[in-house]
Amino acid sequence: MPPTRPQNHQPLLVGLPGSLQKLLEEHCQRSGESAEHVIHSALAAYLGHDRHTIFQVSTSGALVKGVYDGCVKVGELRRHGDFGLGTFDSLDGEGIMLDGEIWQARSDGTVTHPPDDALVPFWVATHFVADATSKGSKVTGWAGLVREIDALRSGENISFAIRVRGNFRRVKYRTACKAKPGESLVEATSHQAEFTAEDVLGTLVGFWTPTYARTINVPGYHLHLLSDDRKRAGHVLDIEADHVEIALASENHLSLALPETASFLKADLTGDPVADLARAEGDHD
């Protein structure tokens, strides 16, 4: 399925000098970014659009307790970012936002565009503008990828958005199955669908969150896969690649939208969700 322009994006016809067009094409070839994404980022920077800001729907603590009632529409998410991840109403699969497009990966292995009126119970989004990049790294497993990204992070006390381009020799990923009412996150993910694919050209989309923010967002690394052919997507468990290109964006502002659903208002969110998050997110190989 070819990528389509999100419904709230308007076409803009702009003439570029030949030299600028060449630079744009060379950048896109090196980075794997689309020309549309580069132009969006450049305009956002020039016009003073919010950068280094995470927009988040609900919290990791609420997700652990089984608060999966959708509360924000997919169409609304695009007002707050062009990059991110999350899940859908009733934990119906994994969500990926890349270059302003939103994709839904379900447990049957399908990857589709959700409608703009689809609801999400949890989402993390930002306008991605890289602050640090690394190219040409070989990755042998999840721990190897973590080491490569750790080397780029500038600190332990702010969040980072992470974009990884690569031809993945092997990638293991999962998609959550739609949860039954009352199921905790650990229970709901105990029967998740897992997949292993080889020779996948694609992008990893995700975030690194400090440990102290564990009741707000998933602590540590949280990455979702989206293949270039848009046929494979999900929560990354393990990965191998001969060559990856990594881009990091530092995020030092947080805009948190808390649900007003009955399930959220009545949930007991006083506990530490770290152990349950680790179980639910899956032990990385």
Residue 5 confidence class, pLDDT cut points 50, 70, 90: very low
Judge whether 5 lies within some domain: no
pLDDT of residue 76: 94
Look at residue 86 and tell me if it is in a domain. yes
pLDDT at 34: 75
How far is Cα 192 from Cα 172, in angstroms, rounded to an integer? 13
CATH code assigned at 81: 3.30.1330.80
- Identify whether residues 58 and 42 lie together within a single domain: no
The verdict on 127 and 25 lying in the same domain is: no
Same domain, 136 and 151: yes
For residues 21 and 72, state if they share a domain.
no
Domain membership flag for residue 33: yes
Share of the chain above pLDDT 70, in %: 90
E-strand stretches of the chain: 53-57, 72-73, 83-87, 94-98, 101-105, 111-112, 119-120, 122-126, 132-140, 159-175, 193-209, 220-227, 233-251, 253-257
User: Which of 5, 34, 49 corresponds to the end of one domain?
Assistant: 49
In this structure, the answer to whether residues 39 and 96 fall within a common structural domain is no
pLDDT at residue 218 tops 90: yes
Q: Are residues 95 and 194 in the same domain?
A: yes
User: What pTM, to 2 d.p., does this model score?
Assistant: 0.82
Same domain for 100 and 165, yes or no, is: yes
pLDDT at 281 over 90: no
Residues 182 and 263: their CA atoms lie apart, in Å, by 10
* Structural domain harbouring 174: 53-281
The residue ranking higher by pLDDT, 194 or 3, is: 194
Do 28 and 61 lie in one domain? The reply is no
64 lies in the same domain as 123: yes
Task: Please report whether residue 4 resides in a domain.
Answer: no
Q: In this model, does residue 151 exceed pLDDT 70?
A: yes
**Average of per-residue pLDDT values in the chain:** 90
Residue 31 pLDDT grade (very low, low, confident, very high; cuts 50, 70, 90): low
75-117 pLDDT tens trace: 999 989 999 999 999 999 999 999 999 999 999 999 999 999 9
| pLDDT(173) > 90 | yes
Does 6 fall in a domain? no
Structural domain contains residue 29? yes
Give the pLDDT of residue 6. Answer: 40
- Domain membership of residue 264 (yes or no) is yes
How much is the average pLDDT of 147-176?
96
pLDDT, tens digit, 9 for 90 and up, residues 187-207: 988 888 999 999 999 999 999
Q: Which residue has the higher pLDDT, 127 or 284?
A: 127
**Are 162 and 147 contained in the same domain?**
yes
Answer yes or no: is pLDDT of 3 > 50: no
The reply to whether 205 falls in a domain is yes
Q: Which residues pair with 204 in a beta bridge?
A: 164, 225
- Quick count: other Cβ atoms within 10 Å of Cβ 1? 10
The 10s digit of each residue's pLDDT in 36-60 is: 767 766 776 666 556 689 999 999 9
Task: Say yes or no to pLDDT of 1 above 50.
Answer: no
Counting the structural domains of the chain, the total is 2
213 and 174 share a domain? Answer: yes
32 and 171: one domain? no
pLDDT in tens, 121-141: 999 999 999 999 998 789 999
